[in-house]
Chains A and B, each alone.
Chain A
């Protein structure tokens, strides 16, 4: 089983739609969780950290469910500029290593 698993997509959604991505992780002792965004042929950039209580940043909402070991990202009112690959990232417990999912590709259509 992969340490961090994501549905690769692609998710093709119309502008204005709401879309949700899930990610599961295998190490129950993992401490930190992130969503990164990666545009085509560019480096990953932090979209948002994921906190235990859930957190929101504008149109983006991240949730963490420790009991079920999954993380979610909800994007409301999708924009064309949201088209990218979204990477789920888990920081391995007790180390400084970041474990990446393979990413979920989103395409927002006009």
Chain B
């Protein structure tokens, strides 16, 4: 059974803090993704990675960076958290075959920036 695990379910951070969201998958998937989900806006892609040390900006990368030092781990970094980054963050992974290959999601991290 594929498992994508995010390090925290809930986080509360202060404005200006550096925040790390960690994601680990156990299925040897090459592709990993970070999305944020907001009411009325759906899931929006922040960054994705198709291999170790490889990354590509998604639709809303501003204010975020990522790190993929090992195949199984993909970290999302908020360099200086702001209140508009309060959101649900979802990590996902998939194999590198876009033909009807599903993405598997972690349980999500609900981040509140105060």
- On A, residues with C-beta under 8 Å from B are 8, 31-32, 34, 41-46, 49, 51, 87, 89, 91-92, 95-103
Q: A97–B58 contact, CB under 8 A?
A: yes
Residue of A nearest to B31 (CB): A96
CA distance A18 to B42 in the complex (A): 25
Residue of A nearest to B39 (CB): A102
Contact of A32 among B44, B101, B110 (CB under 8 A): B101
- On B, residues with C-beta under 8 Å from A are 31, 33, 35, 40-45, 48, 50, 58, 90, 92, 94, 96, 98-108, 110
Q: B102–A100 contact, CB under 8 A?
A: no
Q: B41–A98 contact, CB under 8 A?
A: no
Q: B98–A44 contact, CB under 8 A?
A: no
List of 4 A-B pairs having minimum Cβ-Cβ separation, nearest first: A102-B42, A43-B105, A100-B43, A46-B102
> 13 A-B residue contacts at CB 8 Å?
A31-B99, A32-B98, A32-B100, A41-B108, A43-B106, A43-B108, A44-B105, A96-B94, A97-B45, A97-B58, A98-B103, A100-B35, A100-B44
Taking A31-B99, A87-B42, A101-B42 as contacts, is the C-beta distance between A45 and B48 under 8 angstroms?
A: no
From DSSP, what is the main secondary structure of chain A's interface residues?
loop
Taking A31-B99, A96-B94 as contacts, is the C-beta distance between A43 and B42 under 8 angstroms?
A: no
Q: A96–B99 contact, CB under 8 A?
A: no
Residue of B nearest to A31 (CB): B98
Which residues on the A side are within 8 Å of B33 (C-beta)? 97-98
Contact of A87 among B41, B43, B58 (CB under 8 A): B43
Q: B43–A45 contact, CB under 8 A?
A: no
Q: B108–A42 contact, CB under 8 A?
A: yes
CA distance A89 to B104 in the complex (A): 13
Contact of A34 among B31, B43, B102 (CB under 8 A): B102
CA distance A43 to B33 in the complex (A): 14
CA distance A32 to B90 in the complex (A): 21
CA distance A46 to B101 in the complex (A): 10
Q: A43–B98 contact, CB under 8 A?
A: no
Residue of A nearest to B92 (CB): A98
Which residues on the B side are within 8 Å of A46 (C-beta)? 102-104
